[in-house]
Chain A
Amino acid sequence: MNTSLTSSPHDPARASYQTIVKAGDPWFFRITKGQTIRITDIEGNQAVDTLFYNAVDPTERYSADETIRSQGNIYLTAGSALLSNRHRPLLTITADTCGRHDSLGGGCSAESNTVRYSLDKKYMHSCRDSFLLGLSRAPVPMGIRDLVPNINFFMNVPVTPEGGLEFTDGISAPGRYVELLAERDVFCLISNCPQLNNPCNGYNPTPAGILIWD
């Protein structure tokens, strides 16, 4: 694996906004064009499932396939432009001290948990439950039609040349972060992943830190 790390000059003390997204919680927030958001994997090995929408017209949203194909690589890192379904950047990753992030694995759901693990796992908490609750906080009506394959910050989903795909231990560690510059006004929708059935959170979901600079 060839990854390079890019740290940020931003000073946390000068952030205009900060919060902690607890393990298993949703977070919905409007980010203005020109602002930078940092997402921190506070304790390490925590998948932060994330979607972005154009805040003016949320039918324009993050597109995993556009983003991956346009950069010719399935992994996201510093320099990756997060493209929309209208083929233009919503945000750009400007710093990354983890190295790479997944955009093929999508979010977990109660229903996919029944398929992947056991029919009796349906009661367990999932990212889609958090996403749906997060979208209920949008200023315009948004719902299940707006949920598309998301970014999994800090998550490791290696793909092989033979076409294999698996979820493995994260390559993240405590304090690693990713920063994104908003190229337009966007809604950020996060599910701080509650998954307990695979190694994406090290079987121990932990909080994620949010900082925003103007």
Chain B
Amino acid sequence: MNPPVSPPLLTQTLRGGGSWSMVLPRHTALRLTDPTGGANVAALFYNADRLTERYNMPDTLKAQHTAKLTAGHVLYSDIGRILCSITEDSLGWHDPIAGHSHAAMVLARYGEGTYQERRNDWFRNSHDLFLVELGKHGLGLRDLVPNANFFSKVVVQPDGTLTYVPGHSPPGSTVVLRMEMNVLVVLNTCQHPLDPDPVYAPAPVALEVHRAMPPSADDWCRNSCPENGRGFSNTETYFSLLPS
């Protein structure tokens, strides 16, 4: 773990149903905090220097033999490199498998909430917000892949059934992602697609970006499994060959 070594480079609160994207340089850390409880952050990650390289859910899960994300885990790209590492986590479980909401789902669950009637409190959905935010970087539907859901927990029962765990994230829950590459982070704060709450009430999320120390030889994420040691090796080789 690398504690912040300087004041935040960026501090921002993203309202519920909001979206955000930013290129975060290698060895900066993004702290996500759920101030009110019950937040969900749908997130995707791309190599900012080579946007076809992107977060890969299956490669992340199978390299670390996990169906959840927590501290010590890393998020892999489809090219066998590490986009970011989870260096702190107060929750122990973030959902990598249940995807994100879309317009028809939001309409069916919460009813109609148009911009015309509700202005900035209109009902947003994660799929459309991803498309909007990706569009700002020249990306689109082809680049929209299975995402991670921070602050949400979905358990897989022995028969394969998905069970959403309500009330998973208490107020003050926090998770820190340390960038291991220059990463385009794209996220939004819509309700989790399996959240049974019949009321449209997406929670806000606080964002902080800090400088971080590069991972040391004894870094927790690097050593949490032999696979991650090789993932860091691939990533560090890639940067060692780039012009400085």
Contacts and interface: CB of A to CB of B under 8 A. Distances in A.
B66 A163 contact: yes
B150 to A, nearest CB: 15
Interface in B59-110: 59, 61-63, 65-68, 76, 78-81, 93, 97-100, 102, 104-105
B156 interface: yes
Given A69-B193, A159-B67, A74 B97 contact: yes
A65 B142 contact: no
Nearest to B155: A161
B63 A112 contact: yes
A167 B62 contact: yes
Contact of A115 (B61, B97, B234): B234
Interface residues of A, number: 47
Interface string A55-79: 0000110011110110011110000
Given A105-B62, A159-B156, A112 B80 contact: yes
A182 to B, nearest CB: 21
Interface in A116-148: 116, 118-119, 128, 144-148
A100 B160 contact: yes
A116 B63 CA distance: 5
A104 B67 contact: yes
Nearest to A167: B62
Interface residues of B, number: 48
A81 B162 CA distance: 16
Interface in B155-198: 155-162, 193-194
Q: Secondary structure of the A side of the interface? A: loop
B145 interface: yes
B23 interface: no
A113 B58 CA distance: 13
A9 interface: no
B56 interface: yes
Contacts of B43: none
Nearest to B161: A73
A149 interface: yes
A161 B234 contact: no
A207 to B, nearest CB: 24
Contacts of B160: 73-75, 100, 159
Given A65-B98, A149-B58, 15 more contacts: A1-B159, A2-B159, A63-B99, A64-B146, A69-B193, A74-B97, A74-B156, A109-B59, A109-B80, A112-B78, A144-B78, A145-B143, A161-B155, A161-B157, A165-B61
Interface of B: 52, 56-59, 61-63, 65-68, 76, 78-81, 93, 97-100, 102, 104-105, 140-147, 155-162, 193-194, 227, 230-231, 233-234
